[in-house]
């Protein structure tokens, strides 16, 4: 059975579950009320995001304005489910990347992108799952709640099953993530697919910090430390600086509305989209610092029949 290597799985995880694009967002997140019906969330999605946001989502709140480079996949799904359950409209201001796009944007029953703003996908944990475990899920013999064990591969598998459950709940074709993974990994790797990954992961709590490499042994150490902190209910963040020499790691995909709707994404309202590469370049330059590469659907826009 086909199964991705630990490093390949980690690459997918780092692109989506633990990391966000390299944007300046300090402190991790800020929540404020704009008016009686609108709340703003600015920053990364991490442990505590849902718990801290929920008190703002009272009966009078119907809109969440979000600016986020992404963050935790698990927390992103948790927050997305709460927004969907409460019928909260999502408005993207400036950017909604990684876990923000993967989960919050897809799950919101109504969503809009402000002019001069964009969303960006760059991979998901699903790629780490074996065909056998996916088959067990489809047959109803495996769920995220039933999975036990420790180690990075178990963590990735549980996250991937959680993601399958999420897709089933929101009614979106999970083929979207598979195609995004291929598009992004092909773009990022280019001619350097064989080049080894380099970088580190940093695990932080309020008082301590641990650094890990990207070897299989180091990733397992990281997973064990995360599991130990989870058991103790200690809040932590994981940030990564991972690259493949000769590539551009800060790459994301900004799909057209037609592409999203093809995969079953519903409720899109305002969705301004650049007409060509020149407009996209200007948009990216206004929104981000240097070093962010955005892939778009211009082939589809220029030749809808193709």
Q: What is the pLDDT of residues 214-252, one digit of tens each?
A: 777 887 888 788 888 878 888 777 766 555 554 445 788
Give the model confidence (pLDDT) of 254-279 as tens digits.
999 999 999 999 999 999 999 999 99
| pLDDT at residue 6 in the model | 42
| pLDDT at residue 22 in the model | 45
- Alpha carbons 127 and 183: distance in angstroms, whole number: 13
State the DSSP string of 95-109. EEETHIIIIIIHH-S
Q: Please tell me the pTM assigned to this model.
A: 0.76
**pLDDT band at 18; cut points 50, 70, 90:** very low
| pLDDT at residue 287 in the model | 92
> Is 140 exposed, middle or buried, given 0-12, 13-18 or 19+ CB atoms closer than 10 A?
exposed
From 231, 244, 113, 105, select the one nearest 180 (Cα to Cα).
105
Question: What percentage of the chain carries pLDDT values higher than 90?
Answer: 40
Q: What is the dihedral of CA 17, 18, 24, 29, to 10 degrees?
A: 80
Of 45-49, 89-93, 160-164, the poorest mean pLDDT is in 160-164
| pLDDT at residue 1 in the model | 34
Q: From the CB of residue 193, how many other CB atoms can be counted at a distance below 10 Å?
A: 11
**pLDDT band at 77; cut points 50, 70, 90:** very high
| pLDDT at residue 53 in the model | 96
| pLDDT at residue 300 in the model | 47
Q: State phi, psi for 243 to the nearest 5 degrees.
A: -150, 160
- Asked if the model's pLDDT at residue 20 lies above 90, the reply is no
């Amino acid at each position: 059975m086909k199964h991705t290597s630990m490093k390949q799985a980690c690459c997918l995880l780092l692109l989506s579950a633990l990391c966000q694009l390299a944007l300046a967002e300090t402190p991790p997140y800020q929540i404020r009320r704009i008016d009686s019906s609108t709340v703003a969330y600015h920053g990364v999605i991490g442990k505590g995001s849902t718990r801290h946001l929920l008190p703002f989502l009272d009966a009078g709140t119907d809109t969440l304005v979000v600016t986020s480079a992404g963050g935790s996949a698990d927390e992103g799904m948790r927050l997305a489910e709460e927004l969907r359950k409460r019928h909260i409209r999502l408005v993207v201001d400036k950017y909604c990347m990684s876990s923000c796009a993967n989960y919050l944007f897809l799950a919101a029953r109504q969503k809009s992108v402000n002019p001069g703003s964009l969303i960006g996908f760059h991979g998901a944990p699903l790629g780490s799952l074996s065909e056998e475990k996916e088959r067990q899920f489809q047959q109803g013999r495996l769920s995220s709640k039933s999975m036990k064990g420790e180690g990075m591969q178990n963590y990735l598998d549980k996250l991937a099953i959680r993601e399958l459950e999420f897709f089933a709940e929101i009614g979106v074709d999970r083929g979207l993530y598979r195609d995004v993974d291929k598009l992004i990994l092909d773009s990022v790797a280019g001619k350097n697919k064989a080049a080894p990954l380099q970088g580190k992961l940093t695990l932080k709590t309020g008082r301590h910090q641990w650094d890990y490499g990207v070897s299989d042994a180091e990733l397992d150490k990281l997973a064990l430390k995360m599991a130990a902190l989870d058991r103790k209910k200690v809040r932590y963040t994981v940030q990564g600086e991972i690259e493949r020499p000769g590539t551009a790691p800060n790459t994301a995909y900004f799909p057209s509305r037609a592409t999203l709707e093809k995969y079953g994404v519903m409720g899109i309202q305002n969705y301004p989209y650049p007409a060509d590469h020149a407009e996209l370049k200007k948009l990216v330059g206004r929104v981000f610092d240097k070093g962010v590469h955005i892939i778009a659907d211009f082939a589809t826009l220029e030749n809808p029949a193709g």
